[in-house]
Structure 1
Amino acid sequence: MPSFRSRLIQGLTASTAVAALASGLAACGGDSSASTSSAAGSGVVTVGALSNGAAVQTDLKVSEVASLHAELPPAVAKRGKLVIGIGALPTGSAPLNYIGSDQKTITGVEPDFGRLVAAVLGLKPVVTNATWDNLFVGIDSGKTDVGFSNITDTEERKKKYDFASYRQDNLAFEVLGSNAWNFDGNYLNLAGKTVAVGAGTNQEKILLEWQTKLKAQGKNLTVKYYPDNNSTYLALSAGKIDAFFGPNPSIAYHVIQDAKTTNPTRNAGKFSGAGASLQGLIAATTKKDSGLVKPVADAINYLIKNGQYAKWLAAWNLSNEAVSTSEINPPGLPITNS
């Protein structure tokens, strides 16, 4: 079984996906450049396509930037393709990476962003799906140019890989829309609350640490466990718990799914998945010294500056994970905590 911290580093697992998309999550191997970006230089990338209601489908105008294309390693520029690695096998994880409503195209937050970066660099995106471990094998072997798969920036990984950050790595609290409570980044606001969390997860570790701190102050935080997300959300709807503490992307997804129901939910506040002392970051991942990390980071910063980045996050209800700039190899999760 993975450790608390390794679960964080690997990103969302299948267990965090909401059951409503189960029929669309069966992932497959092979390439999927998809209809979301038909060719390099086409000028339009569609994000949120085939999402089964997880996103607002949005067409974004993105053309090749010649100066950034010129930064590419010669072999990649000559090939004209950017091989994007996704670690979504066997089941995928909505809204990050999963099989779309056509039952064949890899869709989600991560492949969409890989396609945007490829468009800026003037390359045709080729999205490949693998298991988590084989994603890194592909990068190591050079068969995969860059991983876009909710990969957390860590100091341990920097021994083998270069990073270009593009999203905050956050956890969040989900409450009923009728509940005015907010976390506000302060664990003291959890006093007297009953919160559900997944067993064996990084968020459980953090929540139990807060419970211990509150207990030392004579305050109570009740932690509840349920066998699956359906049971958790039934408990939330019935008022048996005040909040659910889980990965921010999966909560963003569920908020969208519940928006038109009789019991809508909302995000009541986020917290860094790396803990209080460090903002965790999700990053594009390339083989160390491959020469790709700078053009990828520059492409991300172009998308940030020109507004496509914000529209991509908004389409997937993840605006609360925006970064102001893409950094190359920023401080990552310390080796002692990984």
Structure 2
Amino acid sequence: MIGVEVDIAQLVADTLGLRLDLQPTSWENLFLSVESGQYDAGFSNITVTEERKDKYDFATYRVDTLAFEAAKISPIEHIDKPADVAGRTVAVGAGTNQEQILLRWDAQNKAAGLPPMKIQYYAAPGDRYLSLASGRIELYLGPYPGSAYHVAVKGDTKIVGQLSGGGEIKADIAAMTKKGNGLVGPLNEALNVLIKNGEYARVLQRWNLSNEAVATSRINPPGLPRT
């Protein structure tokens, strides 16, 4: 496994003198696995929300940014408001904050008399990108890091819009642990050590994510409101 999450998790483990045991899992199983104690922590572009804080503790390490991705040959150039996606076919991950943003935007468009979106769900990234290439979908809304990496490596898509992971509200990405298990404090301290010594900045620069840097890691900051 590679990526900014893996690199940050490794640095945190090294700072705490622990051996990192990476376990890939689906988004659906991630939360249950942390809650059950199967996994000690989750590093997976997890947004802090008030609802999640009922069961989990969080130590922040990035600003949550989303991206609209389109095929490179697409005539779409810029997406920055609900009207820009009216009538379009858009892929998004089920059960994510970006899905909630699309649903809110779609409701606003319908209320304004604009055509509804067609929202599609894909479990596998490969299927999603095949659909983008074939024109079955026009856009994908997902975490900025994944889209930025795909654009840089594959070169067959482009980013046509960015927005906060909370839509109109600033949001934070954080390491997640089971609430009350005592791990969030050490995670927060390790992240702040990495921020101060420059290792954190070098990781973000490596993945072209310096725009998502935070000045300090916080424990359980205000999260996205309950839906």
Q: TM-score, normalised by structure 1?
A: 0.53
Structure 2's unaligned 5+ residue stretches are: none
**What residue is the counterpart of 2:163 in the other structure?**
271
For residue 251 of structure 1, what is the aligned residue in structure 2? 147
How many residues in Structure 1 have an aligned counterpart in Structure 2? 219
User: What secondary structure sits across from 2:37 in the alignment?
Assistant: helix
For the Cα contact (< 8 Å) 1:114–1:125, is it kept in 2?
Answer: no
How many percent identity over aligned positions? 45
Unaligned runs of 5+ in 1: 1-99, 101-106
Alignment-mate amino acid for residue 8 of structure 2 = F
Supply the RMSD in Å over aligned alpha carbons: 3.4
Q: 1:240, 1:159 → 2: CA distance? A: 39
Q: 1:114 to 1:222 in 2, by over 3 A?
A: closer
Instruction: Output the CA distance in 2 between the equivalents of 1:320 and 1:151.
Output: 17
Q: Identify the residue that residue 207 of structure 1 maps to in structure 2.
A: 102
How big is the shift at 1:312?
Answer: 1.4
In the TM superposition, 1:151-190 aligns within 5 A as 151-177=46-72, 181-184=77-80, 186-190=81-85
CA–CA distance in structure 2, aligned partners of residues 128 and 198 of structure 1: 25
Q: Note the C-alpha offset of 1:258.
A: 1.5
Which letter maps to 1:136?
Answer: E
Take 1:187 and 1:282, find their aligned partners in 2: how far apart are those partners? 24
How far 1:209 moved relative to its partner? 2.9
Say whether residues 1:138 and 2:32 are aligned partners.
no
> Which protein has greater RCO, CA pairs closer than 8 Å, 6+ apart?
2
**What is the distance in 2 between the residues matched to 1:195 and 1:318?**
28
**Which of residues 175, 196, 212 is equivalent to 2:90?**
196
> Is residue 331 from structure 1 mapped to residue 227 from structure 2 by the alignment?
no
1:125 is aligned, of 8, 19, 36, to 19
Name the amino acid aligned to 2:140: F
| SS across alignment from 2:221 | coil
Q: Aligned partners of 1:166 and 1:199: how far apart in 2?
A: 22
State how far apart, in whole Å, the 2-side matches of 1:212 and 1:160 are. 29
In structure 1, what residue type is equivalent to 2:219? I
Contact 2:49 2:224 in 1 (8 A): yes
Instruction: Tell me by how many angstroms 1:329 deviates.
Output: 1.1
Q: Label 1:206 to 1:214 Cα distance change in 2 as closer, same or farther (>3 A).
A: same
CA distance 1:270–1:135, change in 2 (3 Å): same
SS of structure 1 residue aligned to 2:224: coil
Instruction: Tell me, yes or no, if structure 1 residue 293 matches structure 2 residue 184.
Output: yes
Match of 1:233 in 2: 129
SS in 2 for 1:271: strand
Offset of residue 165 of structure 1: 0.6
Q: After superposition, where does 1:96-111 map in structure 2 within 5 Å?
A: 100=1, 107-111=2-6
Cα distance 1:291–1:198, how it changes in 2: closer, same or farther (>3 A)?
A: closer
Structure whose residues are more often helix by fraction = 2
Instruction: Return closer, same or farther for 1:242/1:281 CA change in 2, 3 Å cut-off.
Output: same
Aligned-partner Cα distance in 2 for 1:226–1:147 = 23
CA distance in structure 2 between the aligned counterparts of 1:112 and 1:244, rounded to whole angstroms: 25
Q: For residues 197 and 291 of structure 1, do their structure 2 counterparts lie closer, same or farther at Cα, with a shift above 3 Å needed? A: closer
Tell me if the contact between 1:166 and 1:283 (Cα under 8 Å) persists in the aligned partners. yes
CA contact (8 A) 2:45 2:143 kept: no
Give, in whole Å, the separation in 2 of the partners of 1:294 and 1:171.
27
SS for the counterpart of 2:20 is: strand
Distance 2:115 2:83 in 1: 10
Structure whose alpha-carbon radius of gyration is higher: 1
Cα distance in structure 1, aligned partners of 2:182 and 2:34? 19
The reply to whether residue 303 of structure 1 matches residue 194 of structure 2 is yes
